Amino acid sequence: MSLELIGFSVSHAGKPMFAPITLRVAAGGVAVVMGPSGVGKSTLLDGIGGHLAHGFLAQGRVLIADRDVTALPAETRRIGVMFQDALLFPHLSVGDNLAFGLTPTLRGRSQRRAAVEAALAQAGLAGMYLRDPATLSGGQRARAALMRTLLAEPQALLLDEPFSKLDASLRAEMRQFVFDHARARGIAVLMVTHDPEDATAAGGIVVEL
């Protein structure tokens, strides 16, 4: 599902933080947002997702799968978000963490369990439903967090430096993992990053703030 911005910006105290952005990310495609620290990259994602803090105001339009979601609350935009500190809840098992992401439309205990088991298998975490998140490696945790986000069946995915704490080889692996899943599901991805390799991997579609 595509993600489209039309003249989109965010203002703070009446002043636009960055020039209006017009951009279309195709279904299954990836674009990257880069720019210096403090320029408003995270705020841009907050604006697209509908999570702006008090005092920030969005301008322009956001379309997800060609549906104008600009006026909708965050919960109904069908946009998944994953941050740098995509923490798993430490008091829940790995599987229950993933179950937390499940769309509420999926009812029935065994159905929900099966959906989580399938997602764990796709993330290379088969058999780890009952594991304590603290016993997972960094890469396993990142894959679990991504799966939790995908279980909500988002139509677009916003990533805010999601893998910056992982080492270089793991980062490349996770990037591929995300891109592959997004492509297979037709989810448009917009990723904030400082890593030029992310931009190259995204096919060079870069928004500079």
Ligand X SMILES: Nc1ncnc2c1ncn2[C@@H]1O[C@H](COP(=O)(O)OP(=O)(O)OP(=O)(O)O)[C@@H](O)[C@H]1O
- Binds ligand X by CB under 6 A, chosen from 31, 41, 50, 141: 41
- Does 9 contact ligand X by CB under 6 A? no
Distance of closest approach, residue 194 Cβ to ligand X, in angstroms: 7
Q: Which residues contact 63 (CB under 8 A, 6 or more apart)?
A: 2, 3, 4, 5, 6, 69
**5 and 66 Cβ atoms separated by less than 8 Å:** no
Smaller CB distance to ligand X: residue 79 or 120? 79
**Contact region with ligand X (CB under 6 A), list: 34-42, 108-116, 121-129, 146-154:** 34-42
**Quick one: 40 or 133, whose CB is closer to ligand X?**
40
Please identify which residue in the block is written with the tokens 């798993």: 88
Nearer to ligand X, 42 or 70 (CB): 42
* AA letter at 90: P
Is 40 a binding residue for ligand X by CB under 6 A? The answer is: yes
Within 10 angstroms of residue 3's Cβ, the number of other Cβ atoms is 26
Which residue from 13, 14, 53, 169 is in contact with ligand X, where contact means CB under 6 A? 53
Site size for ligand X (CB under 6 A): 9
Which amino acid does the sequence have at 14?
G
Binding ligand X (rule: CB under 6 A), the pick from 37, 76, 105, 169 is 37
Under a CB-based contact definition with an 8 Å cutoff, are residues 100 and 89 in contact? yes
Comparing CA positions, the residue from 192, 115, 206, 121 lying closest to residue 158 is 192
Residues that bind ligand X (CB under 6 A): 35, 37-43, 53
